[in-house]
Structure 1
Amino acid sequence: MMISFLDIEASSLRNGYPIEIAWCNADVTAGRSWLIRPGGWPPHLAWDDDAERIHGLTIGRLEAEGLPPDTVAEALADDLTTAEVVLSDNPPFDHGWLVELYGLGSGTRSVPFQLEEADAVAVDDRRRLAAAGVDPVSRTLAADAGLVPHRALDDCIRHAVTLCVARDEELDTIKWKARRLLAEHGRDR
C-alpha cells in the first residue's frame, strides 16, 4: 500500500492561510516541500507573529522563495495521485488549509485526495512501538537526522521515521534516508 504523510504550516493558527506544505512516503524514499507565496489570499486571512515564532518562516522569505498557490496546488495533486492513503497528524486543520489552497490556487476545484488520521492507520505498529518503548528511539532518531519541529517536510519525515522504527527498519538506514531527503530540499546540516 502506498502511504504518504502530509503536513502544512500556516500563517496563523486561526484565520490564516497555508505557507508551507510537504509530503513524504512512508519509507522516506521520496517527498517534496514547497513554500507558498503570501500574496493573493483573501483579506480576512491573517499573519500571526506567534505562528511565525513556531515555524520560523517570515513573510519576506515566503515572498522571495515561495511559489504561487496554484503552482503548489497542481504539483501536490500530481505528486499524490499514486498515494492510496494520505495521512495527517491533524486532518481537520490540514483539510481546511487545503481547501484554502485549492480554492485560491485552482478556482473552485476540490481537494483531490482524502486525508486520514496518522494515528488511526498502522495501529498494530503503534501498539508495538508503545510496548517496546520505541517512541523515545524515534524522537532521538529524528533529532539525529536533523529534523526541525514545525517545518512541514521535517514533520512528515518524523511520522514516517516512527513508522519505519515500528516496522524494525535498521536505524542508520532510516537516519540516512531522512538526511538524504532533507538534503534534496536544500536542508544540508
Structure 2
Amino acid sequence: MPHWSYWSDDAESIHNISRSKLESEGIDSTTVAYSLNRILSGQVVYCDALHWDSFWCNALFSDTGIHQEFELRDIQVLIGGSENHLRAFINEREKLEDSDKFTVHRALDDAKIIRKALEVALAGRHE
C-alpha cells in the first residue's frame, strides 16, 4: 500500500528480499488478503511468532478494510504438555535450522521446519 513506507534493512537481510524485488515481484495487499481468506476461511493458523504474525496480519487486514476470516494462535497450544515437549520442539527446530537443508526465514522452508519440529514434540507427548 502507498502508505507502507517503512523499510527495515535488518529484515531485508534476514529474509533476503530487497525492497526493489518486493516492489517488482510482490502481490497487491488486497489480493493477498482475499487469497488468505479464501484459503484459510474458518481455520486456525498456528504461529511460532504469534506477536509478529498477528501484527502483520492486523496491518494487512486493517489497512485493506477486509475482515480476516481465520484465527491465529500460538503453536504452544498445539504442543501443550510439559516444558519437556516445548523444549523438544525448540531443540528440533534449532537442529533443523542448523542442518543446511533449509533456508531459514523463507516461508516454505520455515513451515517445513516447524512441521518437522512439531512432529517430534507431539511424538514425545504420546510416549
Class of the TM-score when normalised by the shorter of the 2 chains: 0.7 to 0.9
The 1:113–1:134 alpha-carbon spacing in structure 2 relative to 1, beyond 3 Å, is: closer
Question: Structure 1: 5+ residue runs without aligned partners?
Answer: 1-39, 169-189
Partner Cα separation in structure 2 for residue 123 and residue 147 of structure 1: 26
Q: Secondary structure at the match of 1:124?
A: coil
* 1:154 corresponding residue in structure 2: 109
Please identify which structure carries the higher strand content: 1
Over 3 Å counting, the alpha-carbon distance change for 1:82 and 1:142 in structure 2 is farther
Q: Deviation string for 1:50-89 (max 9, x for gaps)?
A: 2211111001211222111111111111111253x21112
Separation (CA, whole Å) in 2 of partners of 1:96 and 1:128: 27
TM-score by length of 1: 0.54
Change (3 A) 1:117 1:62: same
Runs ≥4 residues deviating over 6 A: none
| Separation in 2, partners of 1:73, 1:114 | 13
Measured in 1, the distance between the counterparts of 2:85 and 2:13 equals 35
Equivalent residue for 1:122?
Answer: 79
Distance 2:106 2:53 in 1: 14
Whole-Å separation in 2 of the counterparts to 1:146 and 1:125: 29
Counterpart amino acid of 1:121?
L
Residues 142 and 53 (structure 1 numbering): CA distance in 2 closer, same or farther, change over 3 Å? closer
Larger relative contact order, structure 1 or 2 (CA cutoff 8 Å, min sep 6):
1
Identity score, percent: 28
| SS of residue paired to 2:46 | strand
Retained in 1: the 8 A contact 2:90–2:117?
Answer: yes
